[in-house]
Amino acid sequence: MFTNYQQHFTPEQIAKRLYDGFELNALSVVDFSAGAGNLLAPALKRWPNADTYAIEIDHTLQSRLTKALPASKIIIGSAYSSDTLRKSKLRKESVDLVVGNPPFQKELITDYLWEIIAPIYDSPRKERLTIPAVFLHLCLAHKYLREDGFASFIVPKNFLHGLTYQHLRSQLEHEFAVLSVESLAETTFSNADVKTYHVLLQKKRNTKLDFGKALRLRQSETNHRRTATTLELKISDFSPSIVRGKLSSRHGRQGLAVHTSHLPVEPGPITIKKLKNSFTSEKPLSYAKKNDILISRVGSRSLGRLALVKAGTAPITDCVLRLRFENLTEIEIHRVFARMKEADIRGQALNLSTGSCAAYLTVDQLLSITI
């Protein structure tokens, strides 16, 4: 459902899950981008005597908010405005819980917004003209949450994994402790076409948060209503045999071997079609076959590309690493690949890679990647 602000309202079943994973007798709950009130509605049911604050920029939603949140204080205006926040009469470090599904966009840094982010963002203002709304909302949460208060947010994948936001994530590491990161189903915001996560944070001094490790306590598939506890593992924990291809990139371009260009930009399965080659023996070549996982090991543009071989067999070039799991069943291999898809292999590979002219990934570096 859209308004003139192009909002994507949180489904009711997802909104309820923002209140899982912590014990709290909340006295005050805030949503700085309340939308239709879906995120605050569960708070009213859970803590009927709590003070709830719904701040929303879209005035056309006021009557809808009033109906959905009859006991809440509703403030129409931008959470990025000092006038709006004054109307709310919120006090610094007084709120127990902040919930939110911030806009997946960037905001121009005004003087007032700089006052909000400056306590966390330690770089000169001239270095940035805009700031992601997610970071801005977390700064607002930090400003108004009491110590040990909770922030329960829906965030886009690129904020958790993207190299562009690595510096911003580091700014948050001393302010919040992560309690859980939950992968939401691809269809949660189908119109937005953005992969999203639910993150549960707790405001705390002198703690360390690594947002880049975005598989933590739970992963879920919303359409199956299934939640499973997962541990943080490295690729080495699954004991794969890893080999590097023998043929040159020229053979790949000529269609004689699987090359980085054959691996999908987004991780996924591939079927190796019969290549026009005359190679009949795997020795001394390195071949890929069904249930092998292939990863591009070189090139800043293609480094970290990931594929699971669904069918077919062919030699690989020396730009590709082959992972083979002889000790795992086919189902287990697919589960490992699913974890690798979620773990931003490309981002980790770029961080670990070496080389001055062209980035490349060694076998040892690949084994150390967290999934």
| 318-353 pLDDT per residue, tens | 999 999 998 888 888 888 888 888 777 777 887 787
Instruction: Give the pair of three-digit tokens for residue 113.
Output: 């917004």
Entry pTM: 0.56
pLDDT of residue 191: 61
Choice among 160-164, 208-212, 237-241, 300-304 with the minimum mean pLDDT: 208-212
Mean pLDDT of the chain: 81
* Residue 324, beta-bridge partner list: 241
Residue type, 161: H
Whether the bond into 284 is cis, omega within 30 of 0: yes
User: What are all long-range contacts of 54-60, with beta carbons under 8 Å and residues at least 24 apart?
Assistant: 55/30, 55/31, 55/79, 55/84, 55/85, 55/88, 57/5, 57/33, 58/3, 58/4, 58/5, 58/7, 60/3, 60/4
CB 278 within 8 A of CB 307: no
Instruction: Please state, in angstroms and rounded to a whole number, the distance separating the CA atoms of residues 323 and 308.
Output: 10
- 3-class secondary-structure state, position 181: strand
| CATH 3.40.50.970 given to domain 235-367 | no
| 271-284 pLDDT per residue, tens | 987 665 545 444 56
CB 229 within 8 A of CB 309: no
| 230-258 pLDDT per residue, tens | 346 788 888 899 999 988 888 888 888 89
Instruction: Identify which has the larger pLDDT, 53 or 225.
Output: 53
Instruction: Please state, in angstroms and rounded to a whole number, the distance separating the CA atoms of residues 235 and 328.
Output: 13
Hey, where are the domains in the chain? 12-229, 235-367
CB 81 within 8 A of CB 112: yes
Instruction: Give the pair of three-digit tokens for residue 208.
Output: 């360390």
Torsion on CA atoms 102, 104, 110, 113, rounded to nearest 10: 30
CB atoms within 10 A of CB 149: 22
Give the helix ranges, DSSP H, for 186-342: 249-253, 330-342
Q: What is the CATH number of domain 12-229?
A: 3.40.50.150
